[in-house]
Chains A and B, each alone.
Chain A
Amino acid sequence: QLQLQESGPGLVRPSETLSLICTVSDGSISSSEYFWGWIRQPPGKGLEWIGSIHNIGSTYYNPSLRSRVTMSIDTSKNQFSLKVNSVTAADTAVFYCARHPRYSSGWHLYFQHWGQGTLVTVSS
Protein backbone atom coordinates (compact mmCIF):
# COMPACT_ATOMS: atom_id res chain seq x y z
CA GLN A 1 0.00 0.00 0.00
CA LEU A 2 1.34 3.39 -0.98
CA GLN A 3 2.44 5.64 1.85
CA LEU A 4 3.75 9.17 1.56
CA GLN A 5 5.57 10.83 4.44
CA GLU A 6 6.54 14.48 4.66
CA SER A 7 9.62 15.49 6.63
CA GLY A 8 11.50 18.68 7.34
CA PRO A 9 11.95 21.47 9.88
CA GLY A 10 8.85 22.54 11.74
CA LEU A 11 10.16 26.07 12.24
CA VAL A 12 11.70 28.34 9.63
CA ARG A 13 12.83 31.91 10.14
CA PRO A 14 11.45 34.73 7.97
CA SER A 15 13.37 35.37 4.73
CA GLU A 16 14.92 31.89 4.85
CA THR A 17 14.17 28.82 2.72
CA LEU A 18 11.61 26.21 3.64
CA SER A 19 12.68 22.71 2.59
CA LEU A 20 10.54 19.60 2.73
CA ILE A 21 10.94 16.04 1.54
CA CYS A 22 8.26 13.49 0.72
CA THR A 23 9.29 9.86 0.95
CA VAL A 24 7.32 7.40 -1.15
CA SER A 25 6.99 3.85 0.16
CA ASP A 26 6.29 1.74 -2.90
CA GLY A 27 8.84 2.76 -5.54
CA SER A 28 6.26 4.21 -7.89
CA ILE A 29 8.20 7.46 -7.99
CA SER A 30 10.36 5.81 -10.66
CA SER A 31 7.33 5.19 -12.84
CA SER A 32 6.59 7.50 -15.74
CA GLU A 33 2.87 7.08 -15.06
CA TYR A 34 2.54 9.53 -12.16
CA PHE A 35 2.78 13.18 -11.26
CA TRP A 36 3.57 14.12 -7.66
CA GLY A 37 2.32 17.21 -5.92
CA TRP A 38 2.52 19.55 -2.97
CA ILE A 39 -0.46 21.28 -1.36
CA ARG A 40 -0.54 23.59 1.66
CA GLN A 41 -3.21 24.62 4.13
CA PRO A 42 -2.75 27.63 6.44
CA PRO A 43 -4.19 27.03 9.92
CA GLY A 44 -7.99 27.19 9.80
CA LYS A 45 -8.05 27.90 6.07
CA GLY A 46 -8.53 26.09 2.77
CA LEU A 47 -6.28 24.13 0.44
CA GLU A 48 -3.79 25.72 -1.94
CA TRP A 49 -1.93 23.81 -4.65
CA ILE A 50 1.78 24.60 -4.78
CA GLY A 51 3.00 22.52 -7.69
CA SER A 52 3.33 19.09 -9.29
CA ILE A 53 6.28 17.26 -10.81
CA HIS A 54 6.92 14.27 -13.05
CA ASN A 55 10.09 12.20 -12.88
CA ILE A 56 11.12 13.12 -16.43
CA GLY A 57 11.39 16.68 -15.18
CA SER A 58 8.08 18.21 -16.15
CA THR A 59 6.82 20.60 -13.52
CA TYR A 60 3.77 22.75 -13.01
CA TYR A 61 3.83 25.51 -10.42
CA ASN A 62 1.14 27.72 -9.03
CA PRO A 63 1.77 31.10 -10.70
CA SER A 64 1.16 32.79 -7.35
CA LEU A 65 4.20 31.00 -5.88
CA ARG A 66 6.27 30.21 -8.96
CA SER A 67 8.97 32.79 -8.33
CA ARG A 68 9.77 31.27 -4.90
CA VAL A 69 9.20 27.54 -5.43
CA THR A 70 11.43 24.71 -6.68
CA MET A 71 10.48 21.06 -6.82
CA SER A 72 12.70 18.09 -7.61
CA ILE A 73 12.66 14.30 -7.65
CA ASP A 74 15.30 11.83 -6.48
CA THR A 75 14.27 8.39 -7.71
CA SER A 76 17.29 6.73 -6.08
CA LYS A 77 15.92 7.74 -2.68
CA ASN A 78 12.21 7.37 -3.53
CA GLN A 79 11.75 11.03 -2.63
CA PHE A 80 10.59 14.31 -4.05
CA SER A 81 11.20 17.67 -2.51
CA LEU A 82 9.91 21.21 -2.16
CA LYS A 83 11.79 24.42 -1.55
CA VAL A 84 10.13 27.75 -0.91
CA ASN A 85 12.47 30.70 -0.53
CA SER A 86 12.07 34.08 1.10
CA VAL A 87 9.34 32.83 3.43
CA THR A 88 7.13 35.07 5.54
CA ALA A 89 4.55 34.39 8.23
CA ALA A 90 1.99 34.00 5.45
CA ASP A 91 3.75 30.77 4.45
CA THR A 92 2.90 29.15 7.79
CA ALA A 93 0.82 26.10 6.89
CA VAL A 94 0.40 22.36 6.97
CA PHE A 95 2.15 21.04 3.89
CA TYR A 96 0.92 17.87 2.22
CA CYS A 97 2.59 15.77 -0.45
CA ALA A 98 0.38 13.70 -2.70
CA ARG A 99 0.31 11.44 -5.72
CA HIS A 100 -1.90 12.07 -8.70
CA PRO A 101 -3.59 9.08 -10.36
CA ARG A 102 -1.93 6.91 -12.97
CA TYR A 103 -1.89 8.32 -16.51
CA SER A 104 -5.06 7.28 -18.32
CA SER A 105 -6.10 8.90 -21.59
CA GLY A 106 -4.38 12.04 -20.42
CA TRP A 107 -3.25 13.51 -17.13
CA HIS A 108 -6.08 13.84 -14.63
CA LEU A 109 -4.43 15.89 -11.94
CA TYR A 110 -6.60 15.31 -8.94
CA PHE A 111 -4.93 13.99 -5.76
CA GLN A 112 -5.52 10.31 -5.15
CA HIS A 113 -3.10 9.60 -2.30
CA TRP A 114 -2.00 12.03 0.42
CA GLY A 115 0.64 12.15 3.08
CA GLN A 116 -0.40 12.95 6.64
CA GLY A 117 0.92 16.49 6.40
CA THR A 118 3.52 18.45 8.33
CA LEU A 119 3.12 21.83 10.00
CA VAL A 120 5.71 24.43 9.11
CA THR A 121 5.71 27.64 11.14
CA VAL A 122 7.53 30.73 9.92
CA SER A 123 8.63 32.78 12.89
CA SER A 124 11.69 34.44 14.32
Chain B
Amino acid sequence: AIQLTQSPSSLSASVGDRVTITCRTSQGISSALAWYQQKPGKAPKLLIYDASSLESGVPSRFSGSGSGTDFTLTISSLQPEDFATYYCQQFNSYPPLTFGGGTKVEIK
Protein backbone atom coordinates (compact mmCIF):
# COMPACT_ATOMS: atom_id res chain seq x y z
CA ALA B 1 0.00 0.00 0.00
CA ILE B 2 1.16 3.52 -0.74
CA GLN B 3 1.75 5.46 2.46
CA LEU B 4 1.16 9.20 2.73
CA THR B 5 3.06 11.31 5.25
CA GLN B 6 1.76 14.77 5.98
CA SER B 7 3.79 17.48 7.65
CA PRO B 8 3.41 19.17 9.93
CA SER B 9 0.81 17.23 11.90
CA SER B 10 -0.37 20.52 13.33
CA LEU B 11 0.41 24.19 13.00
CA SER B 12 -0.63 27.48 14.52
CA ALA B 13 -1.16 30.44 12.25
CA SER B 14 -2.79 33.85 12.21
CA VAL B 15 -5.46 35.22 9.92
CA GLY B 16 -3.76 36.49 6.78
CA ASP B 17 -0.80 34.12 7.03
CA ARG B 18 0.38 32.01 4.12
CA VAL B 19 0.15 28.34 5.10
CA THR B 20 1.83 25.38 3.42
CA ILE B 21 1.10 21.73 4.12
CA THR B 22 3.18 18.93 2.63
CA CYS B 23 2.19 15.40 1.64
CA ARG B 24 4.87 12.87 0.73
CA THR B 25 4.03 9.49 -0.76
CA SER B 26 6.01 6.27 -0.39
CA GLN B 27 5.88 5.65 -4.14
CA GLY B 28 5.42 7.92 -7.13
CA ILE B 29 1.77 8.61 -7.91
CA SER B 30 2.04 11.01 -10.85
CA SER B 31 -0.61 13.67 -10.11
CA ALA B 32 -3.21 11.35 -8.57
CA LEU B 33 -3.63 13.26 -5.34
CA ALA B 34 -6.55 15.04 -3.68
CA TRP B 35 -6.79 17.38 -0.71
CA TYR B 36 -9.71 17.66 1.71
CA GLN B 37 -10.71 20.03 4.48
CA GLN B 38 -12.56 18.72 7.52
CA LYS B 39 -14.14 20.82 10.27
CA PRO B 40 -15.16 19.30 13.61
CA GLY B 41 -18.28 17.18 13.37
CA LYS B 42 -18.49 17.57 9.61
CA ALA B 43 -17.70 15.44 6.59
CA PRO B 44 -14.52 16.14 4.65
CA LYS B 45 -14.84 18.56 1.75
CA LEU B 46 -12.90 18.18 -1.48
CA LEU B 47 -10.59 21.13 -2.17
CA ILE B 48 -8.09 20.00 -4.79
CA TYR B 49 -7.95 17.01 -7.16
CA ASP B 50 -5.35 15.82 -9.64
CA ALA B 51 -2.78 17.54 -7.41
CA SER B 52 -3.51 21.06 -8.63
CA SER B 53 -7.09 21.34 -9.93
CA LEU B 54 -9.37 23.49 -7.79
CA GLU B 55 -12.77 21.95 -7.08
CA SER B 56 -15.70 24.08 -8.16
CA GLY B 57 -16.78 26.56 -5.49
CA VAL B 58 -13.53 26.39 -3.52
CA PRO B 59 -11.92 29.80 -2.90
CA SER B 60 -8.91 30.61 -5.04
CA ARG B 61 -6.71 31.16 -1.98
CA PHE B 62 -6.37 27.36 -1.93
CA SER B 63 -3.89 25.87 -4.36
CA GLY B 64 -2.13 22.56 -4.84
CA SER B 65 1.12 21.62 -6.50
CA GLY B 66 3.49 18.72 -6.98
CA SER B 67 3.81 15.42 -8.76
CA GLY B 68 5.57 12.14 -8.20
CA THR B 69 6.08 11.83 -4.45
CA ASP B 70 5.99 15.39 -3.11
CA PHE B 71 2.89 17.54 -2.94
CA THR B 72 1.89 20.83 -1.34
CA LEU B 73 -1.36 22.46 -0.32
CA THR B 74 -1.07 26.23 0.08
CA ILE B 75 -3.51 28.67 1.60
CA SER B 76 -2.36 32.07 0.39
CA SER B 77 -4.08 34.16 3.06
CA LEU B 78 -5.59 32.22 5.94
CA GLN B 79 -9.17 33.13 6.76
CA PRO B 80 -11.08 32.42 10.01
CA GLU B 81 -13.15 29.73 8.27
CA ASP B 82 -9.99 27.87 7.19
CA PHE B 83 -9.16 26.60 10.65
CA ALA B 84 -9.69 22.89 10.19
CA THR B 85 -7.89 19.61 9.58
CA TYR B 86 -6.56 18.89 6.10
CA TYR B 87 -6.01 15.46 4.54
CA CYS B 88 -4.33 14.28 1.37
CA GLN B 89 -5.41 11.12 -0.48
CA GLN B 90 -3.80 9.15 -3.30
CA PHE B 91 -5.77 7.41 -6.03
CA ASN B 92 -3.00 6.27 -8.35
CA SER B 93 -2.62 2.75 -7.04
CA TYR B 94 -5.39 0.80 -5.36
CA PRO B 95 -6.62 -1.02 -3.50
CA PRO B 96 -6.18 0.46 -1.09
CA LEU B 97 -6.97 4.12 -1.56
CA THR B 98 -4.99 5.80 1.19
CA PHE B 99 -5.09 9.04 3.17
CA GLY B 100 -2.44 11.02 4.95
CA GLY B 101 -2.62 11.35 8.71
CA GLY B 102 -3.97 14.88 8.64
CA THR B 103 -2.73 18.38 9.45
CA LYS B 104 -4.62 20.43 12.01
CA VAL B 105 -4.51 24.17 11.40
CA GLU B 106 -5.14 26.11 14.60
CA ILE B 107 -5.48 29.75 15.52
CA LYS B 108 -2.32 31.40 16.81
Contacts and interface: CB of A to CB of B under 8 A. Distances in A.
Interface of A: 37, 46-49, 51-52, 60-64, 96, 101, 108-112, 114-117
Interface residues of B, number: 24
Chain A interface, >50% SS class: loop
Chain B interface, >50% SS class: loop
Given A63-B1, A116-B42, 7 more contacts: A47-B99, A49-B95, A110-B34, A110-B46, A111-B44, A114-B44, A114-B45
B96 A116 contact: no
A46 B96 contact: no
B5 to A, nearest CB: 12
B49 A52 contact: no
B99 A49 contact: yes
A96 B43 contact: yes
